[in-house]
Structure 1
Amino acid sequence: MKPTILVSWLDMDRLDRMLDSVPASQLAARDALLDELGRASLAEPWEMPPDVVTMNSRVRFSFDGSEEEVLMTLTYPKDMTGDPEQLSIMTPVGTALLGVKVGDTISWARPDGAMFELTVRGIEYQPERDGQYHR
């Protein structure tokens, strides 16, 4: 069983509206995100703990226990600009990051059946921490 995640009601509202217009080619990604959101607890945006990944957070993480870190911004599809440091919420990694906190390790099966792990190492920027609610 996967742990509960924490999502602001504002992000939840924006994600619900986004999911209403997902193209048919992304139904599997939509279903995966809906599954994740189904286990979310909601918080007021201004009460979001600073160590939780929210939409538009800039997150440091590593794969499969590696010490090498990746730094990416969790982004809505409409905001994707082609910047290699953006990560769409509609990707498996983006979906897995939402609502987890620094220090958490997330495991899931890759398409080939092998297990995959991601560990959140830090949050360089979180909009809620900076009082940015209208992004």
Structure 2
Amino acid sequence: MSRPKIVVNRLDAERLQRLIENSSKDDYAVAEALEAELERCEIVEPEQVPSNVVSMNSKVAFTDLNRDRQIIRTLVYPHALKENKDGLSVMAPIGAALLGLKVGDIIDWPLSGGDPVKLRIDEILWQPEAAKQYYR
């Protein structure tokens, strides 16, 4: 299974850890996978996040290589889904998979039914850190 190196900013890592700790039984599998990703990631200060990395609140174009379909979504915390018509929760399997990847990375990730999906990051259309919005 392909798992590229990932980068997460310190503030997002702290927020995500709290989200994992408070997750419901329904979110257990994704929370567990997200926690494993946080354990293996490189944590950097928000100002040090490269502009080609998917961070929280980034708008990203990615391709589902299983279906040869490009998708554009904004990676958000679950509470922000209502405010983002193109939002993808970090607590959804694909949302958790995207976190910390950089443009060009490909990841194999299990969906909730157990079937794997292969995703490729094509482009970061907007990233808070690149826009100098470090505390969003």
Above 0.5 in TM-score?
Answer: yes
Q: CA deviation at 1:13?
A: 1.0
Distance 1:56 1:75 in 2: 5
The reply to whether residue 53 of structure 1 matches residue 54 of structure 2 is yes
Over 3 Å counting, the alpha-carbon distance change for 1:109 and 1:28 in structure 2 is: closer
Paired position in structure 2 for 1:78: 79
Q: Distance in 2 between matches of 1:65 and 1:122?
A: 18
Runs of 4+ in 1 over 6 A off after TM superposition: none
Counterpart amino acid of residue 44 in structure 2: A
Structure 1 distance, partners of 2:112, 2:72, is 24
**C-alpha RMSD of the superposition:** 1.9
The equivalent residue for 2:109 is 108
For structure 2, list consecutive stretches of 5 or more residues without a partner in the other structure: none
Q: Is the Cα–Cα contact under 8 Å of residues 6 and 52 in structure 1 kept in the other structure?
A: yes
3-state SS, counterpart of residue 61 of structure 2: strand
Instruction: Tell me how far 1:133 sits from its aligned partner.
Output: 1.5
2:82 counterpart SS class: coil
Which amino acid in the other structure matches residue 129 of structure 1? A
Please give the alpha-carbon distance, in whole angstroms, between the structure 2 residues aligned to 1:18 and 1:111: 19
- What is the rounded CA distance, in whole Å, between the counterparts of 2:97 and 2:20 in structure 1? 16
% same residue:
39
Secondary structure (helix, strand or coil) at the match of 1:34 reads helix
Q: Could you tell me how far apart the structure 1 residues matched to 2:30 and 2:68 are?
A: 28
Task: Give the letter for the 2:25 counterpart.
Answer: A
Counterpart-to-counterpart distance in 2, 1:89 and 1:116: 16
- Give the stretch that moved more between structures: 50-59 or 103-112: 103-112
Q: Contact 1:64–1:117 at 8 Å: present in 2 too?
A: yes
Instruction: Rate the CA distance shift 1:113–1:94 in 2: closer, same or farther, 3 A.
Output: closer
Aligned residue identity for 2:101: V
